[in-house]
Amino acid sequence: MNTQWSDEENAFCRQVVDFFEHELSDDLRAAGRWMTSVYADHERSLRWQRKLVARGWAAPAWPVEYGGCDWSVAQHYIFARERAFAGAPPVSPMGIQMCAPALIAFGTAEQKAHFLPRMLSGEHFWCQGYSEPEAGSDLASLSMAASDDGDHLVCTGSKLWSTHAHVANWVFCLVRTSRGDRPQKGITFLLIDLDSAGVEVRPIVSLTGEHIQNEILFNQVRVPKANVVGRIGDGWTVAKYLLEFERGGAAYAPQMQVRLRELRQFARRAPADRGGTLSDDPVFMARLAEVECQVDVLESYEQERLSELSRGGSPGASASVLKILGTELQQAVTELGLEAAGHYGAAFQPQAGYPGGPVLLPHGGGFLGDRQAALAPLRYFNERAGTIYAGTNEIQRNILAKTVFGL
């Protein structure tokens, strides 16, 4: 693989760096650099999204006719890398990176014309309605009912673990419109306005006191059939396509490279048990170097996948590979960070970072110790969920066993 950028790619890189330098205010940069959740602070994320929209860079992976960028694979990678290096907050992936690809692939012309511009502008802020109390990684067992009533579907049931549903105004849902000989049959992909009569959003407060997740209750909610994406009863096809983008549509490596670089810097000032600094500990530094090598390998794999996507493909089975490698390496990085934090890793100090939602448990104003140490336990506990959400890594290995090895 040729790792040298061309003159045109270097020029594009300078454009991206210049944009970040001029458009990232201190609070936006802090919201990205000190994130402790999968998602950025809601208000700052939307503010950053509006800046990207103005530059035409909010949805670079979309087709150009819908507001995307005619970028090469290298340009997509350069943008993702420089965003991570600059500390820019990510935009919420629910609309632009997840629902949008499904709409572009399966939606009607009317649906694309209505929803896609509003996703870009932030007028519509989306959340996901997949999991239910009895349907998580085994998503096909979902039971939220949608009965036929002329031009509408009437929805009754609940969805669980819906990130940012308390600030969203639209949700893309999987609902049960019929029963077939297989659980995957009779599922419909539906777009629901959360301002509809009969919708109730209840907070789920995590053990760390953060309000990011929610339960959504639907009581006889009437939804126009015009909001069905694809065909009624064939939503599983749409859902599988969308899940490929949720599991493998993003680049993991650049952000981990930033975190590892910060961890190396922290090791030079963190005290070691036997004197000196942690950077003098050969065992810790060897483990750090091993994870750095693994992240570099992941980066090469991500570049290959970006090349496939640029030729019009979908992530396919590689989405499961990326999800496994990316989330497990993220956990390895936070484990090193927690070890480096020492006794400061025992303290609950959410005020040191930027969580994805309000923290409802009591906490102070300032924080004790080095900021990297204060962030370490927050990031450690957040990444524990990485191997569970979007389908557990055990499920991903089953998918690979079936689709790649035919087992």
Q: Residue 112 is encoded by which pair of tokens?
A: 């694309």
- Half-sphere exposure for 176 (CA within 13 Å, toward CB): 20
Q: For residue 163, give the 3-state DSSP assignment.
A: coil
Q: How far is CA 240 from the centre of its chain?
A: 16
Residue 359 to residue 352: CA distance in whole angstroms = 12
Residue 201 to residue 129: CA distance in whole angstroms = 12
- DSSP run (H or E) holding 335: helix 318-341
Give catalytic status of residue 8 as yes or no. Answer: no
Residue 240 to residue 325: CA distance in whole angstroms = 20
CB neighbours (10 Å) of residue 396?
Answer: 24
Active-site entry in 82, 132, 210, 246: 246
The secondary structure of residue 123, as a DSSP letter, is: S
**185, 178 contact by CB (below 8 A):** yes
Active site residue ranges: 246
